[in-house]
Amino acid sequence: MRVHVVQVAYTDEEPVAARVDRVAALVADQRGADLVVLPELWPHGGFSYRTWPERAEPLDGPSMTAIAKAAAELGAVVHAGSIVERADGGPEGRGLWNTSVVFGSAGERLAVYRKIHRFGFGNGEPVLLEAGDELVVRALELGGRSTGVGLATCYDLRFPELFRGLLDGGAEIVLVPAAWPAPRVEAWSLLGRARAIEDQIVVVQCNTGGTHAGVRMGGRSQVVDATGAVLAEAGDGEEVLVVDLDPAYVAKTRAAFPVLADRRL
């Protein structure tokens, strides 16, 4: 299974429509990939809170439509990162979510995850967005094998109980798009390794580069195996990581070191 992690870098000067076209072209160019992963909120800006309501779009809006088309052109599974989704409803009456989407090799929608843990400590996401309430794990055909793929987003990394839930739902790989800032990037790296070690899963983390809304982004996307070893790590700019994974690797790791069988709580 070949995974391409596309660490997108951008600034406020790049118009959203231009960025959508550019990133869609990047996705379509990832020849040989079985799975492509994009960052969190790359169309709308991870810290661009003030513009989220006006930039929000439905799941069939221009950003996700462009990535679905690119996935079909490429013929690979694509985690499209996340958008500020506008939809009817929501218990808090806001109708906005931080929503991730996974597309299949024909451009069909395979999975949708609304971010459960909202970052901001009373500002940003907690004020503007609804919280998701569903753990998402899907069996996806990757590298000729059905693989349990769990979805998480950015701040979710700080909550190990979410990853335990994904593990219990059958996850072997967890995909984590993010807009994680540079001042806390060491935590980003460490938490990814911790989640991989404790749940014996592969963690694929795709962060953002560049600066937007005055916030310097941390980059350092990484792929971590089920022992916590970092298989590949990006710098802080725009970059594509290419990693080959054995689809049966997680099962082999768990059999060789069956720590999960000793869980008591």
Catalytic option among 40, 85, 130, 172: 40
Catalytic option among 57, 85, 115, 239: 115
Burial class (CB within 10 angstroms; exposed 0-12, middle 13-18, buried 19+) of 186: exposed
Which residues touch 62 (CB under 8 Å, ≥6 apart)? 17, 20
Which residues touch 32 (CB under 8 Å, ≥6 apart)? 2
Reply yes or no on whether 108 is catalytic: no
Q: Tokens 């991730």, residue?
A: 100
Reply yes or no on whether 154 is catalytic: yes
Closest CA to 102 of 114, 115, 111: 111
Reply yes or no on whether 134 is catalytic: no
- Chain center to CA of 239: 16
Which residues touch 262 (CB under 8 Å, ≥6 apart)? none
According to DSSP, the β-strands at 145-151 and 173-177 are parallel
Catalytic option among 85, 154, 172, 239: 154
Q: For the stretch 105-118, what's the b/e string if a residue is b when 16 or more beta carbons lie within 10 angstroms of its beta carbon?
A: bebeebbbbbbbbb
Q: How far is CA 50 from CA 117, 130, 174, in A?
A: 20, 16, 30
Which residues are part of the catalytic machinery? 40, 115, 154
